[in-house]
Amino acid sequence: MNILTICGAANKTRNTASMLRSAFNGAMSVPDTTGEFVYLYDLDFKGCVGCHSCKLLDESKFSRCALRDGLTPVLEKAVDADVILIGSPIYFSDITGETRSFLERFFFPATTYNKDRAPTYPKRPKVGWVFTMNAPGEFYKDFLGGLVSMTSRIIGESEYVMAYQTQQFQDYSKYAATMFDVDMVKKRHIEQFPKDCEAAFAMGKRLAGK
Ligand SMILES: Cc1cc2nc3c(=O)[nH]c(=O)nc-3n(C[C@H](O)[C@H](O)[C@H](O)COP(=O)(O)O)c2cc1C
């Protein structure tokens, strides 16, 4: 099993990266797995530029992203992965810009404008998403469900875990942030977040063990 993990959070030690690391550790706990953990914010890359090269019927171009930049090696590895784990915090009711740019480059070459809209990736990896957010869990249910079902359609069978009402600051009194119930957030961070990481570990292990 070949595991590729893509972290779309800027910070390597906070909620999303920690939870995604748990998912990665879960996957890596399955015997005979190899894996890599990539931080998108370390890479120099752009989103899709709409060159449409990946739609050309020329076999050397079809279904491949023609852009050459820091994401190119990651996209090449993604084609060979058995399991892909992707993590993003919610920024302005969406995934982060870096995660979005990655998805454009990952998804678009895997689709066509043919009538059947059949995905073109030869391998159908399993995909596990990790999301973290400040809002209550049900807030982005439709958005997350839509994103995960699009991933299932284009890339391969997908599922997600999430942590909500996450702790954003160590000391809330230093920030303009009076809207938060700090005691509740801190309690959730101590009691619930470790359970969310356990759920992420279990997802990684399950996907790699399938
Ligand atoms: C620029 C920015 C925008 C955000 N927008 C939202 C939002 O729309 N909804 C939400 O629930 N949380 C939002 N958050 C909070 C983060 O999603 C949340 O704190 C998350 O757990 C942060 O992940 P991290 O700890 O890995 O950085 C935002 C945070 C930032 C920095």
pLDDT at position 129 over 90: yes
Nearest atom, ligand 1, residue 14 CA: 25
Show the CA angle centred on residue 152, arms to residues 81 and 42, nearest 5°. Answer: 50
| 95: helix, strand or coil | strand
Task: List, for residues 165-203, the tens digit of each pLDDT value.
Answer: 999 999 999 999 999 999 999 999 999 999 999 999 999
Task: List, for residues 73-111, the tens digit of each pLDDT value.
Answer: 999 999 999 999 999 999 999 999 999 999 999 999 999
Mean pLDDT value of segment 112-123: 85
Q: What is the pLDDT of residue 93?
A: 97
Residue from 14, 39, 92 to probe ligand 1 pocket by mutation (most atoms less than 8 Å from CB): 92
- Model confidence, pTM: 0.97
Mean pLDDT value of segment 144-158: 97
Residues paired with 159 in a beta bridge: 128
C-alpha 172 – ligand 1 centre gap (Å): 15
Find out whether the beta carbon of 91 lies less than 6 Å from any atom of ligand 1: yes
* 126-132 vs 83-91, strand pairing mode: parallel
Q: Give exposure, 171-183, as e/b (b: 16+ Cβ within 10 Å).
A: ebeeeeeeebeee
Residue from 19, 21, 133, 139 to probe ligand 1 pocket by mutation (most atoms less than 8 Å from CB): 133
Check if the beta carbon of residue 96 is closer than 8 Å to that of residue 147.
Answer: no
Q: Which residues, 6+ apart, have CB-to-CB distance to 39 below 8 Å?
A: 7, 12, 17
**Which domains are present in the chain?**
2-209 (3.40.50.360)
Q: What is the pLDDT of residue 106?
A: 97
